[in-house]
Amino acid sequence: MRSEKNTLVNGIGEMLVNSDFVYFVSFSGMPVKEFSKFRNELAKCEADCTILKNSLIRKAAELNNIQSLAQYIMTGDTALISGKGDAGVVAKVIKDFNKTNEKLAAKGGYIEGSLLSASDVDAIAAIPPKPVLYALLLGVLEAPARNFVSVLNAKVASIVNVLNNYQEKLEQ
């Protein structure tokens, strides 16, 4: 392999290994202006979008012992989206952009050693962002304590009501 390709394959390998998530999208027939808008949306999520040859992605996966990705057959044009952080936010950007521009479509992805299909990417996009999930989890964790306090409060309130009624009866 030529030194230029070798350097490129090593760079792709670093992207695959050092990223929390990797998505593959097809953009056939998409105008450059629209693709630039898409890249800008991804940049807001701190994700990078690079157009690469499928064979170079496969070769980089082979060299980095990512067998599932090395055996994955990709056809057509491919843009590799990689980054760190919340993979759901980036999947949502892909899905939302696909609604306005049908020429962009998710091909699949790779997260934590698992190969994803296009439907998996859509499923990830449907998951709420991490802060919302944290809030839901916190609500679930607080529920038993809140219910316990409510029960204790109800018992105390019933005793106070009985005492108030008894006091009113004595006053009459």
pLDDT digits (tens, 9 = 90+) for 107-141: 988 888 888 888 999 998 888 888 888 898 888 88
Could you tell me if 8 and 73 are in contact, meaning their C-beta atoms sit under 8 angstroms apart? Answer: no
pLDDT at position 28 is: 87
Could you tell me if 54 and 74 are in contact, meaning their C-beta atoms sit under 8 angstroms apart? Answer: yes
Per the structure block, which two tokens stand in for 147?
């219910």
The amino acid present at 117, given as its one-letter code, is S
Q: For 27-78, what is each residue's pLDDT tens digit? A: 988 889 999 999 999 999 889 998 988 888 888 888 888 888 877 888 888 8
The Cα 159–Cα 119 span in angstroms is 58
Question: Could you tell me the pLDDT band of residue 1, with boundaries at 50, 70 and 90?
Answer: low
pLDDT at position 164 is: 85
